[in-house]
Amino acid sequence: MWVTKEVVQEQGQQEQSSSNTTLFHVLDPRVFKRQLLDNLCGLATRVRMLAKSPAGAKLLQDLALNRRAMLYFTQPSTRTFLSFNNACHILGIRTSEIRDRSISSEVKGESFEDAIRTFSSYVDVIIMRSQEPGRAAQAARIMDSIERPVPIIDAGSGSEQHPTQALLDIYTLDRSFSQRGGIDGKVIGMMGDLRRGRTVRSLCYLMRSYTNVRLIFIAPKNFSMRDDVKTHLNEQEIAFVETDCLSEVLPELDALYVTRMQSEWDQEGESNDIDLSQYTVGKKQLAMLKPNGIIMHPLPRGPEIDPIVDADPRAMYWRQERNGMWMRVAILLKLLQLEESVS
Ligand code: NCD
């Protein structure tokens, strides 16, 4: 959620629509509205274009030279960590990191509250990923109770939410459909472990900003989208259907968002019982996909996308990965109120 400090204190879940709003924490994707999404996509593109020239790169580099960011990633991460780290560096923001609690004072018994408060003493923004759901929201509440709060960005919390991934996914969809009327009216398939995949959950929450989008969930029986997201979609009147058969729906998709089995959450190896061949994209599936359909994946991938797909122009996941860096620059610019400097 993008929220002003006052809103956090008063209501927690206030919606933000204005591109000019002073923004604070990034926690819950549900509060993003169309104007802000369009604004962030535009900003990401401006930054991407600027960074192409030495003069533009220098301009960006000098924007936030006096700012510092903390990357507090206690759950494994490659892309989100690296893209945030590089996004900070593109803007001249210096970074500190903790990626392992066992080498922080938390191992001496320091509370989460004290750890977060300590980080905030040194930096201007805390970007955090945690195994436990709700940790970033908890950090935000701690911030809102102290004298010098800094923004908290949720870079993935448990199997619940991953708001900045959803933003970069929107940017990727928006760019991919820029010549075809944008995201409105598109049919988007989401496939794989939808129950525990936080990226697809967050992305569903952003769909209400687009008109006539249809979602098709393709998942093995025990890994279907959870009721909380489906209730939200029903409330927002976003059409969705569920199936366990990719081939039945593949020809009508404009985008297929593939996810891996999130086996790290298994209680008893339940991922191993799935016949993954039913939820895989390879040569046969490419032949069934529309000529201008796209394939996305938050990565890392398992066997669900055959590397043979990489060479197909409809494979969008490597671009999606790079889009993540530009979107995260845009998020930081917005948060630090430096947006006007690149307009
Ligand atoms: C995702 C995540 O961490 O949830 N990865 C990412 O941030 N790009 C998806 C995943 O791990 O499957």
Q: What's the pLDDT tens digit per position in 179-195?
A: 999 999 999 999 999 99
List, in sequence order, every residue forming a beta bridge with 130; answer none if it has no partner. 157
The torsion defined by the Cα of 166, 172, 174 and 175, in degrees rounded to 10, comes to: 160
CA of 62 to the centre of ligand 1 (A): 31
Q: How many other β-carbons are positioned within 10 Å of the β-carbon of residue 186?
A: 22
pLDDT at residue 103 in the model: 83
- The rounded radius of gyration (Å) of the Cα atoms in the chain is 20
CA of 196 to the centre of ligand 1 (A): 11
Q: In what order do the strands lie in the sheet with 68-73?
A: 94-98, 68-73, 125-130, 152-157
Q: Looking at the whole model, is its pTM more than 0.85?
A: yes
196 lines ligand 1 (CB under 6 A): no
C-alpha closest to that of 126 among 73, 66, 65, 70? 70
156 lines ligand 1 (CB under 6 A): yes
Mean pLDDT per 10-residue section of the chain, whose length is 343 residues: 36 43 84 94 98 98 97 96 98 96 87 96 97 96 96 97 98 98 98 98 98 98 97 98 97 98 95 93 98 98 97 98 98 95 89
